[in-house]
Structure 1
């Protein structure tokens, strides 16, 4: 199943609804890109208004090293001509939303990254701002790269290689586990209620979310809606 689709004309993200037979609760998964067109975030916000609970990504606490890593996507929206916007909660979340933030702390995120070889860890800190400058200069077309496409079941040699990437594991494994534990608690407490629970996380986390909800709790994809992330001029 395609989660993020990249073509020569646009980037699209599939909002996925998963359900469990005999359980009225449903999870609605929003695969996010941290840089996108304002229209994309507006469309997500409209749909979040229809949800009873919103589970959001966001490393808690401050860290200079975490800030350095996020420079890769914070630079791109700074050129107004790009027509891009950085994902920010105040623009994305409805004011009356009930929000849960199960993500790791900044200290935990850095602890996971320090399990990488020292040279790899230092390269990440140096490469992030360079990548941000490239995105800013190239504009939206920098995102029209097939490597940004995300599937829930890696089937190509390239996808399998990315799944085995130690950097990717360091950035996601603990965070995905923490998220799935929180979703399991929501299911245990409110599974008998006819509510919609939004899961607003980066697209790279979504394969683990979909497979985790299926394997742990029996929730399976029921329907998907495509939202356009950006269309370069």
Structure 2
């Protein structure tokens, strides 16, 4: 199943609803891009108002290393002609819907990255600001291409890909496990309630979320709705 679709015309994100037979609770997964058009974030916000609980991505605390990595998408919106906006909680979250954040701390995120070979870790720290500057100067087409597309890969294939990509494992492995554990607690405690639980995480986490909810708890994809992230110039 396509999660992020990239064409010569647009980038789209599939909002995925997952349900379990015999259980009224449903998980609504919002695959996010941390830089997008303002319209995308307003459309997500409208749909979050219909939810009863929001599970939100967000590394807690601060560190110089995490700040360096996020420069890649914090630079881009500063050039107005790009027509892009950085994802921010105040633009996205309705005031009356409770939010939980099961993500890692900044110290834990850097601890995971430091399991990489030292040269690879240093390269990440240097490359992120450079990528952000290129993004800001040349516009979204530099990075919003077919390589950005995300699919819900079978779990065995995804495990093989993760094994070959230590950077992805270091950046998402512990975070995905924390998230799935939190969703499992919601399922155990509130699975009998007719509520909508929004999962607002970066698109790169979504394959693990979809497969984890199915493998661990028996939730299957029942609906999908496309939202336009941006129109390619």
TM-score (norm 2): 0.96
Counterpart of 2:178 in structure 1 is: 178
1:98-118 Cα shifts (integer Å, max 9, x gaps): 000000000000000000000
The alignment yields a C-alpha RMSD, in angstroms, of: 1.7
Counterpart of 1:51 in structure 2 is: 51
Moved over 6 A (4+): none
**CA, structure 1 residues 31+50, in 2 after alignment: closer, same or farther (shift >3 Å)?**
same
Provide the secondary structure at the position in 1 that maps to 2:111. helix
After TM superposition, give the deviation of residue 140 of structure 1 in Å. 2.2
**Alignment length (residue pairs):** 232
1:29-66 Cα shifts (integer Å, max 9, x gaps): 00000000000000000000000000000000010110
Q: How many angstroms apart in 2 are the aligned matches of 1:181 and 1:196? A: 18
Counterpart of 2:77 in structure 1 is: 77
Provide the secondary structure at the position in 2 that maps to 1:216. helix
Counterpart of 2:115 in structure 1 is: 115
Contact 1:154 1:160 in 2 (8 A): no
Contact 2:29 2:199 in 1 (8 A): yes
Unaligned runs of 5+ in 2: none
Q: How many angstroms apart in 1 are the aligned matches of 2:36 and 2:20? A: 31
Contact 1:213 1:219 in 2 (8 A): yes
Stretch of structure 1 that moved more, 13-22 or 161-170: 161-170
Matches for 1:95-134 after TM superposition, within 5 Å: 95-134=95-134
Counterpart of 2:64 in structure 1 is: 64
**CA, structure 1 residues 162+78, in 2 after alignment: closer, same or farther (shift >3 Å)?**
farther
Contact 1:2 1:14 in 2 (8 A): yes
Unaligned runs of 5+ in 1: none
After TM superposition, give the deviation of residue 97 of structure 1 in Å. 1.6
1:82-110 Cα shifts (integer Å, max 9, x gaps): 10000000100001120000000000000
After TM superposition, give the deviation of residue 125 of structure 1 in Å. 0.3
Matches for 1:157-196 after TM superposition, within 5 Å: 161=161, 164-196=164-196
Counterpart of 1:28 in structure 2 is: 28
After TM superposition, give the deviation of residue 163 of structure 1 in Å. 6.6
Q: How many angstroms apart in 2 are the aligned matches of 1:19 and 1:164? A: 32
After TM superposition, give the deviation of residue 143 of structure 1 in Å. 3.3
Provide the secondary structure at the position in 2 that maps to 1:135. helix
**2:133 matches 1:136:** no
Contact 2:8 2:232 in 1 (8 A): no
Q: How many angstroms apart in 1 are the aligned matches of 2:113 and 2:66? A: 10
Q: How many angstroms apart in 2 are the aligned matches of 1:47 and 1:79? A: 28
Q: How many angstroms apart in 1 are the aligned matches of 2:163 and 2:231? A: 27
Matches for 1:5-16 after TM superposition, within 5 Å: 5-16=5-16
After TM superposition, give the deviation of residue 131 of structure 1 in Å. 0.2
